Structure 1
Amino acid sequence: MSLLNSCKTRRDPPIERPAVYLPAMWPLSLQNLIADTWAAWRWRQRLRRLLQQEARGEARLGEARAAVQQGAQERLPVIAARFAERRRQCQD
């Protein structure tokens, strides 16, 4: 399950540097960190939900089960770092 291979358009485009950046604004890096962490958490929850559905017999994963299980057990900062790298590649 590689997140780095595709640069599909996201529903929420990455936060870009505004024309005017005021000191009272949140740092853009913090905004991107929050967005990447939220997306990583949602992605991991989807994988965990898929494993639960397979356990109940509602879904079949077949050979992808090992990859889904690995992704569901992965630490959130690792997943968020992959999302951030993908965002940086798609911005360039």
Structure 2
Amino acid sequence: MRRSYECDKPRQPMPEFYLPAMWPLDLQNAIADWIGAWWWRRRMRRLLAQDSEGRIRLGSAKGVVEQGAAEPLRLIAQRRARWLRGG
């Protein structure tokens, strides 16, 4: 009498793209969008600080930079996601 072992059974084919230790892609993208939005808003706030110190001159772009510095992260992250992934 022959015993049946797990390794004797035929395996199901592996999908083309499978990484068992990988986070869900939506979560990865959301984290990347929030971090990118935070960096972008931080950059806008630094530009405003440098302008007020007299180190740079924003000129006509000052209004756009002020708007970007005051914008909520949620909106910046959504815009970034649409821009990067076309969604």
> TM class, shorter-chain normalised?
0.7 to 0.9
Point out where structure 1 has 5 or more consecutive residues left out of the alignment: 1-17
**Sequence identity of aligned pairs in percent?**
51
Q: Tell me by how many angstroms 1:21 deviates.
A: 4.0
2:17 is aligned with 1:19:
yes
With the length of structure 1 as denominator, give the TM-score of the two structures: 0.73
Runs of 4+ aligned structure 1 residues displaced above 6 Å come to none
How far apart, CA to CA, are the structure 2 residues paired with 1:25 and 1:59?
A: 44
User: Which residue identity does 1:76 align to in structure 2?
Assistant: L
RMSD: 1.7
Tell me which structure has the larger Cα radius of gyration. 2
> Residues 44-83 of structure 1, C-alpha deviation per residue, up to 9 Å, x if partnerless?
0000000000000001011110000000000000000011
> Residues 18-39 of structure 1, C-alpha deviation per residue, up to 9 Å, x if partnerless?
81142x5311100000001000
What pairs with 1:49-64 in structure 2 (closer than 5 Å)? 49-64=46-61
How far apart, CA to CA, are the structure 1 residues paired with 2:53 and 2:85?
A: 38
Point out where structure 2 has 5 or more consecutive residues left out of the alignment: 1-15
The total of aligned residue pairs comes to: 72
How far apart, CA to CA, are the structure 1 residues paired with 2:40 and 2:30?
A: 15
With the length of structure 2 as denominator, give the TM-score of the two structures: 0.77
